[in-house]
Structure 1
Amino acid sequence: MPGLCLNDSENNRDAVLEAITNNYDKNLSAHEEVERQRAETRDVAPRVSIYNNLAENSMKQSYATMLRQEVGDTLAEKMINAGAYGALCYELDEVYRAGFDPRDAVRQAFPTRGFEDAHDAAAVMQWRVKQVREHNEALLEERMARPLGGYSDGTLAKMIARAEANLPKKPDSANLEDANWADRPYALVKTEELLEIRMKTFALLRSREDAKDPYIDDLRQNAYAMDNEWVRRAQMGPEQKAVEQFVRGEKHRDHLFTIVKALKSE
């Protein structure tokens, strides 16, 4: 190494090491320099605080402009310069995150009372805005539980009239082919169940035709009644069929019945 001589009495061990260290620090290789620059570029931690400060300042300036437009320059300046201005901005952000307009919240909160006797105008506005937000959140929750709660009485009346006009015509019991149909054997049994037990009964009859079964006559009578019911259903008219299906629970009420009921309940 130029300029260093281990035999020189003036150069002790510490001086030699210091000279080597200084020489190394001042002459980094190109690769090491690139790695250092890359590490500094990729390190975002120092920039987080800068970003947060910029975002906070931008938020405060945006709300300051909005306050000047809504409450006037004089009162807005009192709020901006008050100690609770940061809390007010945070509450306005909470309003935005809740899905409401911060400007509308200020408009609702501002006329409540004056600010003449307020020690901290921003704190007073923050409290009022919070009350507005919580009130609106409660209304929204209630409307979600009652989907029709937001409609006026006049609108609901029109919707009821329109839904009732589209309701299917109720069958006239006087025009039914058989008004006493429910008294027939197996008349109230659902069609799918009737088909299943009818098939099982006929299968049981076939298996016991040659056997001396004391209940064979009862089986034949039940099978005959089931067969008659099956034929009757196949030959009935549409109004009779609609009434019987509804009574047996085979056909649910039209959805318009449910809509009309919900509208009238509201």
Structure 2
Amino acid sequence: MRSASESTCFAELSAHETLTAEQDAWGSVAQLAAEYETLAAAAQHDRWASLVRASGLSPSQVSDVVNSDAFGPLAAELRRAEAHFVDVASLLPRVVAARGFEDAQDIAAVLRARVAAVVSRDTGAGRTRRVPRLVAGLIPRALGPMDAAMHQALVDRADLIESRAAAVLDQALLAGEPWTRALGPAPRGATATAWRQNACAVAAYRDRYGIVGVRPLGAVPDSTTQKLDAARPHAALETAQWLADERRTHDARRAIVSPGLPPLVTRF
């Protein structure tokens, strides 16, 4: 018969093995995100091409954009814009009219950069109260009209990504991985769900970019794509820390209130 301590260790080991098995079955966020984005590109291709045709470009410029290697990154940027509640139908004409393309070697690449700049400016800190529509707090959701089968495939991949992110977080917390200390202690009550959602966004980012160090978000990213992705988990980390601090403040206030005595006025 196992002792209490042996039973606890066995239960923790079983939980760890279960989480590891689940993660192996789902694949990494990096793999699942790549699959999601491939599906999204196919599902939304015709829609983005139609928007390009209606953007004010000449027919030859439209052809250059749609056939460019940079059309995929442009489409991904439009998906990010829509996930952040930007009106993409009016966005493209706006960035096309901003200035010409006389010196542009690749109009699609220029459009992508312009769209990214507008989205970053319009959705920066404090500019919107709406929560962006992201998978696991990280990957812009593919929205709008599309084939029903493609839509379902995207929903299925999104569910797998969020399950994987949750499993990565749970395993890290169970193992006491050093990076999780930056999240602060998980709060109780109404804020627990919000804390976990933000913590999952950090876990998803780490898993997508193979971050294994102590720093929760790793080194400063080099690629443009990762820089764009890093903004959301950075905000999520700050939110998780704030929620954890709220718990500490609440616990501290409770600790200094003695039974039968009026509470002390405290400032934190």
TM-score, shorter chain, exceeding 0.5: no
| Rg (Cα) greater in structure | 1
Question: Which range, TM-score by smaller chain?
Answer: 0.3 to 0.5
- TM-score for the superposition, normalised by structure 2: 0.32
- TM-score for the superposition, normalised by structure 1: 0.33
